[in-house]
Amino acid sequence: MPKTLFALAAVLLLAAVPAAQADVLIIEKLEAEKLEMPVRGATMARVQQLFGAPDSVAGPVGEPPITRWNYDRFVVVFEHNRVIHSVVRRDRSPRPAN
């Protein structure tokens, strides 16, 4: 009898605990239109030929020299004069200081 009461108590206790819930990560999709960006390995000259002059330039900094070109909708990162990354701009308001 004590084993039955123990089992019944365990089942009731587990039933009272709310089910675990996981937060769902929502990943933003790019807009329906395909945003064309420079491809990895393209030269600075080729990027400027295809996309025009950047809105602003940061760098070069460090060794190897890293340069960032900012366009209205994307950012291009160069190592020496070759593209290593192109990313869509997600302008956000600044984070509050802690």
Q: What is the pLDDT of residue 54?
A: 95
> What is the DSSP code (8-state) at residue 52?
-
Q: Which long-range contacts (CB under 8 A, 24 or more apart) does 43-49 make?
A: 43/81, 43/82, 43/83, 44/69, 44/78, 44/81, 44/82, 45/81, 47/76, 47/83
| pTM to 2 decimal places | 0.60
Q: What is the pLDDT of residue 31?
A: 47
Q: What is the pLDDT of residue 30?
A: 43
Q: What is the pLDDT of residue 89?
A: 83
Q: What is the pLDDT of residue 16?
A: 65
Q: What is the pLDDT along the chain (98 residues), one digit of tens a residue?
A: 567 766 767 766 666 666 555 554 444 454 434 678 999 999 999 999 999 999 999 988 999 999 999 999 899 999 999 999 999 887 655 555 55
